[in-house]
Every structure is written in structure tokens, then in C-alpha cells.
Chains A and B, each alone.
Chain A
Amino acid sequence: MTPRSALLKVIILGDSGVGKTSLMNQYVNKRFSTQYKATIGADFLTKEVETEERPVTMQLWDTAGQERFQSLGVAFYRGADCCVLVFDVNSSKSFQALESWRDEFLIQSSPHEPEEFPFVVLGNKVDVDESKRQVTQKRALAWCQAKGNLPYFETSAKEAINVEQAFQTVAIKALQQESEEQLFSDYPDSFPLDPHETQSSGCSC
């Protein structure tokens, strides 16, 4: 594989107000503002990243927390290389919603190997006083474990805690996913999903 610059599509999902826009802007622009408006529909930013393999252009898609999947269109989710699930550690509800965000994403994007599709989980707003915390690290880690060892980061967009590290992981995961997806690119979209079969046909490269 030639080391060309890859274009990676990353989609950020999570409940309204958990800090998706803030995280993205902290990562891309190294800024935090209390003045973000509610995202309507979707928004995007790009970021050039150097990974060990090759330079990568990350296309980060911020979504509205209240947006329903069907309005952004299937194509929006289809080409995703990685999905970032964000919750607010001070809101149990936003954590519980991760399950359905993940499920819905898998339905919409229909990746070839749903079990293997890279998610990265971010528990945001850890800068807020510990007394207000509703989701413990242990609880979050347990869920990530159960979903196939998803990487988990506790972040603060406001204090720039762990943001860089989290998105670096996102980039690496997305890059892996992209190379794997290329194996399937010869097949039509409606390629029947069978993990065992795809594995046997995919390992020869």
C-alpha cells in the first residue's frame, strides 16, 4: 500500500449538550468557548493528522444531539471509518443513551463487520465537580468492555484533558478500519453479511 494521505470520516454522536461540538473544536482549533450554539443537522471540521503509517486527513462530523438518523441520510453514515460516542459523565441519561446511539449507527451505516466496527467512547465534562458526577469510570469501562473492548477516554473539552489522546486513537482506529474496508470495496453494497465468510476471503491480502 502506498503511503498516500488518507481521508478518514469520523462521526461524533451523543445526546444533546454532552459537548460534541466543544470536543471537536478543542481538538481541531484548540479552543474552548461557552458560546457554542446548538448544532442543527450536522457540521464538520477537518484535521490533518500524522500517524505512524501515513498522513491522514480526518473529516470530523459533528451531529446534533437531537437529530434523528433518517434525516441526515444513509450516505452520511455509510462511509464512516470510526464513530465517536460521547456522553456527559454528569448525566446518567446521556450514558444510557449510548447503547441506542451505537445500535442506530450500526443500522444506518451497515458496516461489513458490525462487531468489529471501531467506536471510541468519550466521557466528557470531567472538569465538573466530582460531587455532580453520575457515571463512574468503572461503570463506563464495564459497558465499553461488554461492547467489544471499546477504547474509553474521560475527557474535558473545557480543560483540554485527554482530547488529543482520544482523537489520536480515533485516527488510528479509523485508519485501520479504512484499510479493512478497502478489502470489501469490490463488492456491491448489498454484499450479504456473514462475518465468517468475509474473514476467510479477506485475509489473503
Chain B
Amino acid sequence: MEGTPVSTSESALTEAFRRLFSSGLSFTRIKDEALNDRLLSKAGSNSNEAPSISGRSIAWKLFLAKHEPLQSSSTPRAASLLDGLRKSRQRYTRLLEEKTKPPDKRLAEPPTVGKTVTDSTRNVNLNNPLSLHNENPWSEWFAGLEVKQTISQDVERTFPDMPFFREAEIQNQLTNILFVYSATHSRIGYRQGMHELLAPLYYAVNFDAVGEHASVEHELREICSRDWVAADAWALFDAVMDGVSSWYEWREPDPRLVLQEQQGPLSGHVNLVIPDGRHGIQAWVAPIVKTCNYIQNDLLKKVDPNLWAALQKAGIEPQLYGIRWLRLLFTREFDMTDTMKLWDGLFACDPSLALAQWVCVAMLLRVRTELINGDYSSQLTSLLRYPSPKKSKLNDAPTHTCLLLQHALTLQMSPNPSTAATINMENRALLDIDSNVQEPPASPRRRPQVSRQAQSSFIPVRDRDTNHPGHSRQASSPPLGIPEMLARGLLERGESLGINKTLLSAVSELKRNIPDISAFVKTPSQGSSSFPLEDEHTIPERPPWEPKSRLEVEREMEAFRRRDKRLGEALGWIVDTLLQDEESVKDVQALRRRRGEAVESLAYIRDVLISDPAELEEDRLLKGNSGQQPPEKVGTSQAEEPESSLQQRDRPTVIEPPTIAPIAPPLPVSVVDSGSGRKISRPPPATQFSPNVSVARRPASGGADMSQELAKSAPWNRTKSDFNRPTTTVLPRKPPPTSSGRQDSKSVDKSREFDPLGAVEYK
């Protein structure tokens, strides 16, 4: 390979290298691409057999680099990466020398083992293999031999199906790396599972390794030097272990050590007395157990109470599956190729691997049906022999690992049941390709036998939508999935009535999929005639054992239906507003303002659906025109459009809408504040966007040209994105503040955040 001028792998490696370091991609952007499995080209892996792809190890080195925390906005520099690598290589060489050479070899004049007793030189009483002295370096050496034996026992059975790991030299290197790690981390030492974490790292580094004479750029040659594969793999392993090592802890730390380390009041560990323990032992709870419990009993419970209850009822202890999932970072749950893809995203997101816990939750959601329907044994089977997902029939569908990562991120950003419901539907639609995608798009009619998730051809990704209003980001989204395509297909017909129907079914779909509401809402079949809803007053016969009185239930149903109708009308108005063509409107500013309001209203609808308030705030729902625009008018022409908010004081030139019950104009709201307009408690800002801003300034995303950018953020596309699947959301990004999501606006660009439509323009 080294002799040939430019081999395929070398050119692929060069391509990857240039993409990372000379294409001007910011670090954030690189991470983004990695998460979506788009960072590295697959061309380099000449065969589909190899689990890795060219350049992956460079990306990992970049993500996991300890030496220099990269600024998210800056572009990574090869030189600084190289600096760090040089240092870690030196360190590894030193440690290897120090930890693996027998003590006699380390001495300047090594005494031979046989002569030590009679030799009266220096510290030989201490330094001889038979000395019982505590500080005898030989005792450490012998203990090390035992550790090495344990390690090599596992190394020998590392990925037994891969010939690569059967080579003696590779096994030797892996053993050395693990030994050096165990020697430098004496509290944990070597634990089973570490070998399987190291192996993919080593594989990836080795995959990219080039020799001295490789015809690639100088820096690349040094970064991927074949001479330093082991050292680099060690550095990566050491970095990964920073995030994972606590899950390997198996013994109570020495209190003295804890004090030395200034960890505070036993931060990571709890001493508890088992109340009914006959032995009265003070049990130390291993961090892995705590993490597993946290995943199942906090995180999962929060996002999917039903699933949690099912596991709880069966008595599934989270560590039964969690230990393996977490310690190995999912190498047993997915094959090597998929594992590496998953790691791309995990490393890119956060070197501390905090996302791994949410990956676990997302994985639980993926096997939700099996878990809820199954008994203890079948539940365990699903968890311990995690099913490999079906191959998506869609060519442009995201890989299931990508989907998993995005689910994990979404859950992390907004841990609530509706996120989980959305994810369930997406899993159903994208991974479990079944009849429901072939359903005629126009009538997502319910069939009695199909489970709830299976229903949805349309996926109202409400949470996604609300949590990522920065729709400019859609520019770098992967291609559309089925639900979107269906939805868009419908919307693009421009048949307004149809649109309303779609939205309405989406809303009712959504309602049914919010666990809390769905528990008691049994919406009668809402087919294509679901709008208007007057003809749907038939209530199915209730059995006598129904806990609520019939009257109560009917009343409840009535209320819901009324609310549905109101929401539907509001949505109709929103769609109308959003669909208006900018070019055919005289007053573009006013239109934009209305769009802003429409989005406000949409956000309110979301809040209603999430929080299920007792009463609707009409003025927040339909803004200026208070819902007087009947749905029949939806298709009417431009001039007749309701100009809901046009009576606002600063826009006197616009056409007066046929408003019957105008509401008092709310207080003006500052533009910057608009992100928080999504909060339920806040009074509706009528003037969402400042009229002064006028020039479109899209955040640069991937250098797509301006008109394309605008087209993507145009209302019709935006409406479509209501039915989006998460893959189109470019992750990871900090979520904008929402009523339910975490608030972290540190890195959110305000200008993106409050302009989901691209309706606002900037100077």
C-alpha cells in the first residue's frame, strides 16, 4: 500500500482529513455532521465488509481530545491535534516502559535474579523477587502478571468473529494498553468489558494508519502514523474511560483516598444501611447501579410512565441490562459497524458520554411494545438480546443508529411523555416498516385492531417542532421520511380544505398519542370527514362497568370535541396565514407579522395539547380575528384573507379584516423576548416581530444559497415540518427555551431562535 502512488484508502483518508481541517467547517458543524452520519464519506471503505470508514479515527481523536478544549465556533486545527497526540504518545511510551518492564530491567545495573540474596548492594533487601517487604517493586510486578493474565483471557475472546482480533500482535497490543490503563487507575484496575471498549477504538485507529511513505499530507501522515497505533488507541481509550470508568467501579473507594482527592462528602457514593438486612451491612452502592436505577426509575419514568410501570411490575432490575449496555457502550447490542456510527455521535456530542443514559432510554422505547406486552422472561429477552432493527426500506431513511442518537438527544432536551410518544411513532414508521406506511395518505382512518402507534401515517412532531424552532437548520437536514413526504404531498396540493383535514387528523392523532389524555379520550373514527366535527356526536355504548358515569364521560367527550373544533379552526387560520404568498401581498410586513402571530398561536395549541388546561384562551388561539374565520373560507383568495392583526396601531395601511370581536392589543413585546412567548403563562404578544427589520439574514448553514434557504423556511415547508421526523432536525443544538424543555440558551443564537418561519427579516 505504501508503495503505490495513491491508494483508495489514502485518498479517502486525505479527503476526510481535508474535510475536517481545511473545509472551514466549524467544530459545531463537524459534530453535527457526525451525529447525522454525514461527516465521513463511505467511499473510502472499499468494501462494505469493513466496519470502519476512512478518517473516523481522526474525527474521534478530535472529539475526544483532552489537551485543548475546542471552541465550538472555531475550526479545528490539525496542528493542535498533532501537538496533543505527540504528548500522549510520549506519555504512553513512558508508561509502557514503566509498567511493563520487570523491576530488574528498570535498574541501572540490574541484578540477576539468582544472585540477589548474596549481593549486598544498595536496596536489594527491598528490591528482589523474594522480598516480603511492602515496598518491594517485585510484588507489584507479580500482581501485574496476574492482571495481565486476566486481561489476555478477555482479549483472546474479543470479537471472536473478527479475524483482525485473532492476530497475536494485535492481542498483545490490546493487552498492553489495558494493562497500562489498569496500572494507572489502580482503584478500578482492569474490569471485564474494557477490552470490548478498546477494541473498536484500536480497530478504527489501525484502519486509518498509514506508513512513513504514504503519499498524503505531512500532518495527516503524522496524525495517522502506523507507528503510533497503540499509543493513539490508548489515548482514545483513556478519554472514553473518563466518561465510562465510574460504571466500572466495583469497590468502595478507600476513604483516605477520597479525602485526598477532595471529592467532598463522598460525592459519588452512598452509604446506606439496609433496614431489614440481617447482617446490618453498610452497603456501598456501585455507581453503575445508581446510574441504571436513574435511567429506569427517573428518566424512563418521566418520559414513558406506562413502560416504566410495565418494567416495574415485572420486577425488571435496570442493572440487568444496563450494566452491559453502559459498560460496553452498546457493542453487544449492535454490530461493529453500527456501534461505530453510534460512537461517532456519542463522542461528538459530549466526550463525557452523558448522552449514553438517554441512548438507553431511547433503546427502551424502541422495544416498548415487546416490553409492555411481554412477561418477565420475554422482557428480559428483549433487553438482553436486543433485537436488531429491521432494515428500512427507504433509501434515504436515516440509519437506525442515527435515529437512536437523535431520539436520545431529543429526550435529553425535552424529557416528557409527548417526546416519547413522538419517538414511538417514529420508530413505528421508520424502523418497523409495515402496512401503515402504505395507507392511503388522505384517510388515516383508524382500524380497531391496530395498536396506537401503528396508526400514524402522519406524525405530528409537536415537540420536535416546538423545541427546535430554528427552522433555518432544516437546511442541512437529511432527506424526508415517509411521514413527511406524505404530509408534504398533501399540503403541496394546496387544497386548503384538505390541509385542514390533514391538520385536524394530525391534531386528533396527537391527542391520542399523549398518554395521559389518550387514557380516556376515545375519539370516534375521524376519517376524512373529520372536519367539521358536528356530525361526530355518536358516542359508543359504554359498558356498565365503566367507572365514570355515562353522563360524565359524555360531558367530557363533548368538552374535548368542542376543544378539538376550536383547535382545528385555529389551525385552519394558522395554515391560511402561513400559506399566503408573500409576493401576492401588498403589505409584506403585515403578512410577516401575522405569520409571527400564527406561530404564536401554534405554540399555544401545542401548550394546550401538552398541558390540557381546563379552558382555552380564545385570544391566544386565534389572535386578532378570534376565530371568526370559518373553515369554509380557507380557500378564498388573498384579498379576502383575514388580516387578523392588521388593526394594530403601527400598520394603518393594511386592509381591515372582517373582525367581529377584536381583542385588545396586548402589550408590545420586545423581539428578543419572543422565544419565551411559548410559555403558557405569558400573555400573547400581538406584535411578535419588529416591523423595522427588513432584510432576510439567514444563519449560514452549509453555504446553501439564499433563495434555497428561504424556500426551505417558507411557510409551506414549515407546515410540512410539523409532520417531520427527528432526523430532519439537525442535532446537536441547544434547545430553545420551551415550557417543558430545559432552558439553556447559552449557545442558542437568538436570531435563529425566535424566527422559526424565517418570516422576520434583519438588517
Which A residues lie at the B interface, using CB under 8 A? 16-17, 34-44, 46, 57, 59, 64-68, 70-76, 107, 110, 188-190, 192-193
Contacts and interface: CB of A to CB of B under 8 A. Distances in A.
Interface string B286-328: 1011000000000000000000000000010101111110011
Contacts of B192: 16, 38-40, 64-67
A110 B377 CA distance: 23
B285 interface: yes
Contacts of B196: 37-38, 40
B346 to A, nearest CB: 18
Given A71-B323, A192-B278, 5 more contacts: A38-B193, A40-B324, A41-B319, A72-B317, A73-B319
The residue among B191, B286, B288, B319 with the most chain A CB atoms within 10 A of its own CB is B319
B160 interface: yes
B157 A66 contact: no
A66 B320 contact: no
B287 to A, nearest CB: 9
Nearest to A110: B278
B368 interface: no
Contact of B278 (A65, A71, A73, A190): A190
6 contacts: A37-B158, A41-B320, A41-B323, A68-B251, A72-B320, A73-B320
B276 A71 contact: no
B283 A70 contact: yes
Nearest to B289: A71
Contacts of A72: 317, 319-320, 323
B377 to A, nearest CB: 6
Contacts of A17: 153
B284 interface: yes
Contacts of A38: 154, 157, 192-193, 195-196
A44 B379 CA distance: 11
A37 B157 contact: yes
Main secondary structure of the interface of A (DSSP, over half): loop
B250 interface: yes
Given A34-B160, A37-B159, A70-B283, A43 B384 contact: yes
Given A38-B157, A66-B192, A190 B377 contact: no
B187 to A, nearest CB: 14
Nearest to A42: B320
A57 to B, nearest CB: 8
B763 interface: no
Contacts of A16: 150, 153-154, 192
Given A71-B323, A73-B319, A35 B193 contact: no
Contacts of B153: 16-17
A81 to B, nearest CB: 15
Contacts of B328: 40
Given A68-B250, A70-B284, A71-B323, A40 B193 contact: yes
A71 B250 contact: yes
B283 A107 contact: no
B454 to A, nearest CB: 29
Interface of B: 150, 153-154, 157-161, 191-193, 195-196, 250-251, 274, 276, 278-279, 283-286, 288-289, 315, 317, 319-324, 327-328, 332, 377, 380, 384
B317 A75 contact: yes
Contacts of B279: 107
A192 B277 CA distance: 10
Nearest first, the 10 closest Cβ-Cβ pairs linking A and B are A41-B323, A35-B160, A190-B276, A66-B192, A40-B324, A68-B250, A41-B324, A71-B286, A40-B193, A73-B317
Nearest to B286: A71
Contacts of A44: 380, 384
B200 to A, nearest CB: 13
A75 B292 CA distance: 14
A43 B328 CA distance: 14
Given A35-B161, A71-B286, A72-B319, A40 B332 contact: yes
Chain B CB within 10 Å, residue with most, of A42, A107, A193: A42
Nearest to B285: A70
Given A16-B192, A66-B191, A40 B160 contact: no
Nearest to A93: B146
Nearest to A36: B157
Contacts of A43: 384
B324 A68 contact: no
A72 B324 CA distance: 11
Nearest to B284: A70
B324 A70 contact: no
B327 A73 contact: no
Contacts of B160: 34-37
Contacts of A65: 192
A189 B276 contact: yes
Contacts of A73: 289, 317, 319-320
Contacts of B286: 68, 70-71
Nearest to B146: A93
Nearest to A192: B278
Contacts of B315: 75
A57 B377 CA distance: 10
A68 B284 CA distance: 12
A42 B161 CA distance: 21
Contacts of B161: 35
Contacts of B327: 40-41
Contacts of A34: 160
A158 B283 CA distance: 39
Contacts of A107: 279
Contacts of A57: 377
Nearest to B375: A7
Contacts of A76: 317, 320
A193 B277 CA distance: 11
A36 B153 CA distance: 12
Contacts of A193: 278
Contacts of A42: 320, 323
A25 to B, nearest CB: 13
A70 B289 contact: yes
A75 B154 CA distance: 28
Contacts of A36: 157, 160
